[in-house]
Structure 1
Amino acid sequence: MGGFAVLEARPVTGVAERWPALLVPGYTGSKEDFIAILQTLAQAGRRVFAMDLRGQFETPGPEDPSAYTCAALGADVDVVATAVGDGEPVHLLGHSFGGLVTRETVLDGTAKLASYTLMSSGPGGIVGPREHAGRTMLADLPTLGVERLWTDRLEPEAIRAGVPDDIVAFLRRRLLANSVTGLLTMGRAVLDSTDRVDELCQTGLSTLVLYGEHDDGWPPTLQAEMADRLDCDCVVVPGAAHSPAVEAPETTAAALTRFWNAAESAILHR
């Protein structure tokens, strides 16, 4: 879609009676992070799209750091959201770093939006254990390179965590397909982004904060505080950590469908 790799799920009836949704992945992620929820979401009567950001996996990107700032990536998402909507409002979701990117779309874009979901994201740069891991990765990446980073560190971690062999193979293929310039620039943005929650409060857009009860990215308490500041709905997914769409797909899909349907109803009955 316009040079961006996307996955699309449609209702099995072929009839989309509700407004579409666009799902945006996090740092080192891709559209495949949403596979477990795509068809379930579509069964509620809408087309659901998941995209790669520029420089991620199957979407190529230039060796120009300016292409990978949150503002530039948010503008990319704005273009894709406009195409996905095709005149209709779009439910926009950003996971983790995707939340930092999509808030740029919400604040500075022109796409017609029906709602906004921050999934496992935060008000600014990431903190806690993932911050330390991110800074270590950024320090080592220029000297080690992506392949050695995978072989020496990330692959052993995945194997110790019990990740199945076919998923390990996919994760390797995906990481090696990423733009190194993109990894470095986006990695800095994950760590150093400023807080724009007060600006989001001014949009009036129906918003949901959703995260796993054991999130090891932005602390759950920080995400709950962000929801309070936004005065918006907040859903804590039992048993999930940083990737609710993978770790608790049915619960996550149900929460999103409820929120999207309510947002549509509120708009249509104004």
Structure 2
Amino acid sequence: MTSHSAAPSAPPADARTYRLRTSRGEFAVVDVPSAAGVAEKGVALLLPGFTGSKEDFTPVHAPLAARGYRSVAVDGRGQHESDGPVGDESAYAQTELARDVLAQAEALGRPVHLVGHSLGGQIARAAVLLDHSPFRSLTLVSSGPGRISVSQEQRVKLLRDALAVMSMAECWEAILAMGPPEEVGGPARGVGGREHLRRRWLNTRPAQLLATGRQLCAEPDRVAELAAVPLPFHVLSGARDDTWPVTDLDDMAVRLKAHRTVVEGAEHSPNIDAPEPTARALAGFWDGLAPDGF
């Protein structure tokens, strides 16, 4: 669940950062309109991954805006700047998080292109399976058909064990002692440098990490169920991935009859590793859809 390249740390000048009001509470978002003079073609709702945040999509906002797409990146419940219960893991059950996504789409006021990275992809899938009507398409970014790889399960288990006996601040110090946080399976590589990684780690609710970590280690293969949903699908990943094998993502795309993009030079976070080609692939997929989504 790591990636290693640098990326711009600031959103576009016209980005709005605010709390999106929904029927299920408020969620922190970064909302970037289509570029000045470019007609808006659609709206994308972007869901980050495990230990991630809305800032993980910072590098793709501007190129998506240039192609005519408004992009709204969101912190999920209990994730970084979105509030959530401190000790109640049941509040972070996958169905609860999926219903949050449905509420976010409803609050944006129109069918949206849904994009989920890693854990965010599995939450996006759950939302689509509950109700696909708020969405024009679904893109799964480095998000596989079921549970994560054995090596990543071991890392998640280490994190869960640490959270059972240590505070978030103590866990952060332990992560730093093991090496750079983006290198040791701790907080996901993000945009904004180590201070941002530290701040979002401390802001994230431990119950959210515990609950979603369990989900990643136990998620069943729901590809056949998803394939029955009448939406266009896109499976996008880097050329290398240690969380789900790229061959598994290839197979999932075939089973979904999905558009498939492999971003060369990128690993688990193509939105950070190679934002320009990632944004081109997203916009190109959306451009190829008819007004009703197909």
The interval holding the TM-score normalised by the smaller chain is over 0.9
Higher relative contact order (CA 8 A, sep 6+): 2
Return the match for 1:13 from 36, 39, 50.
36
TM-score, length basis structure 2: 0.85
1:122 maps to amino acid? G
Matched to 1:9, the amino acid is: V
Q: Supply the AA of the counterpart residue of 2:114.
A: L
Shift of 1:152: 1.2
How far the C-alpha of 1:164 sits from its partner, in A, is: 11
**2:118 corresponding residue in structure 1:** 96
> How far 1:15 moved relative to its partner?
5.8
TM-score (structure 1 length as normaliser): 0.92
The equivalent of 1:66 in structure 2 is 90
Map 1:68-217 → 2, pairs under 5 A? 68-84=92-108, 86=109, 88-109=110-131, 111-154=133-176, 156-158=178-180, 161=183, 167-217=193-243
Alpha carbons 1:75, 1:109 under 8 Å: kept: no
Deviates more, 1:141-150 or 1:227-236: 141-150
In 2, Cα distance between equivalents of 1:151 and 1:111: 44
Any conservation in 2 of the 1:212–1:242 contact (CA below 8 Å)?
Answer: yes
Aligned CA distance change for structure 1 residues 267 and 155 (closer, same or farther; 3 Å): farther
User: How far is the alpha carbon of 1:135 from its aligned partner?
Assistant: 1.3
Counterpart-to-counterpart distance in 2, 1:200 and 1:24: 18
**Contact persistence 1:10–1:43 (CA under 8 A):** no
CA–CA separation in structure 2 for the residues paired with 1:40 and 1:19: 14
> Following the alignment from structure 2 to structure 1, what is the Cα–Cα distance between the partners of residues 99 and 171?
30
Alpha-carbon offset, residue 19 of structure 1 = 1.6
Take 2:68 and 2:208, find their aligned partners in 1: how far apart are those partners?
35
Gapped regions of structure 2 (runs ≥ 5):
1-19, 184-188
Could you say which structure has the higher helix fraction?
A: 1
Instruction: Give me the whole-angstrom Cα distance separating, in 1, the residues matched to 2:257 and 2:242.
Output: 23
Of residues 269, 272, 277, the one that matches 1:251 is: 277
Residue of 65, 74, 83 corresponding to 1:51 = 74
Q: C-alpha separation between the residues in 2 aligned to 1:261 and 1:182?
A: 35
CA contact 2:190–2:197 (8 Å) conserved in 1: no
For residues 155 and 207 of structure 1, the distance between their equivalents in structure 2, rounded to whole angstroms, comes to 41
Distance in structure 2 (CA, Å) of the matches to 1:82 and 1:220: 33
- Structure 1 stretches lacking a partner, 5+ long: none
More strand by share: 2
CA distance in 2, matches of 1:14, 1:75: 35
Cα distance in 2, alignment partners of residues 160 and 202 from structure 1:
37
Q: CA deviation at 1:156?
A: 4.2
Change beyond 3 A, Cα 1:164–1:128: closer
Contact 1:237 1:252 survives alignment (8 Å): yes
Displacement of 1:250:
0.5
1:227 counterpart = 2:250: no
For the 8 Å contact 1:23–1:49, the answer to whether it is kept is yes
* Distance in 2 between residues matched to 1:48 and 1:42, nearest whole Å: 7
What SS is found at the alignment partner of 2:195? Answer: helix
Residue 239 (structure 1) shift: 0.9
In the alignment of these two chains, the number of paired residues is: 266
Cα displacement string for residues 70-90 of structure 1 (whole angstroms, at most 9, x for unaligned residues): 111010011001112x1x321
C-alpha deviation, 1:267, in angstroms: 2.8
